Amino acid sequence: MKYDTIIFDLDGTLLNTLDDLRDSLNFALIAHGHQPRTLEEVKSFIGNGVGKLVERALPIHSSEEEIKQCLTTFTEHYAKNMQNKTRPYDGIMELLLDLDRYNYKIAIVSNKFDAAVKELAKEYFGDLINVAIGESETVKRKPAPDSVFAAIKELGSAINKTIFVGDSDTDVKTARNAGIPCIGVTWGFRTREVLRNEGADHLIDTPKELLTLI
């Protein structure tokens, strides 16, 4: 077996979190006197952590204090509402069960805040994924490779046995910075063209295709 470790992005790769993210973001925007954003706008803002999500959704030239206040409102709302509409993408549970059956080591690394990553991983995937790492004060967000290295260490694996699976240009950059291959998924928040242009090693259209590559 060439690879025995697979690290997944979360939002747009394993879970479709878009509706819950939009709802909490718009709750925060309206609470602070701003216009809500469309689903497509929110999709385009996702990928570099919730701080960037809120910053991109606010009017240009918003102050740091305005961004901070809106982020606090968003985070508090999302912590209570992140499982309302969120669901695994079709085929994901079957894929994870197959990977577990074949004894692959599996982790999640995400730019979502760490507590949410761990809670969502436990709620939706249970024992199928034992390592889940999000953004925190001790782990830099992607595309820095820190979370990938931390996951590999926690899994007891090695760089040359690991691949990364994600849906965004940020994920491709993360894999490149970590020195591992990246498989881009086309069902997430970015287009096939974005993934191809960024240099993903492979593109897959359904979760089951991953098994044919590894």
What percentage of the chain exceeds 70 in pLDDT? 100
pLDDT at 97 > cutoff 60: yes
Q: Where are the domains of the chain?
A: 5-16+87-213, 18-81
pLDDT at 15 > cutoff 60: yes
What percentage of the chain exceeds 90 in pLDDT? 92
At 157, which amino acid appears? S
Residue 48, pLDDT score: 86
pLDDT at 22 > cutoff 80: yes
Residue 150, pLDDT score: 96
Q: Are 109 and 151 in contact (CB under 8 A)?
A: yes
CB atoms within 10 A of CB 149: 17
Angle between helices 18-31 and 64-81 (to 10 degrees): 130
Q: Are 28 and 183 in contact (CB under 8 A)?
A: no
Residue 136 CA, chain-centre distance (Å), reads: 14
Residue 193, pLDDT score: 95
Least confident of 26-35, 95-104, 136-145, 165-174: 136-145
Mean pLDDT of 122-130: 94
Least confident of 42-56, 149-163, 170-184: 42-56
Residue 37, pLDDT score: 98
Mean pLDDT of 98-113: 96
The CATH homologous superfamily to which domain 18-81 belongs is: Putative phosphatase; domain 2 (1.10.150.240)
**Tell me, what DSSP letter sits at residue 51?**
H
Domain 5-16+87-213 and domain 18-81, same fold? Reply is no
For 5-16+87-213, CATH gives 3.40.50.1000
Residue 1, pLDDT score: 54
Mean pLDDT of 84-98: 97
- Please provide the average confidence, as pLDDT, over all residues in the chain: 95
Q: Provide the H-helix boundaries in the chain.
A: 18-31, 39-45, 50-57, 64-81, 92-101, 114-125, 146-155, 169-178, 192-198, 209-213
pLDDT at 54 > cutoff 60: yes
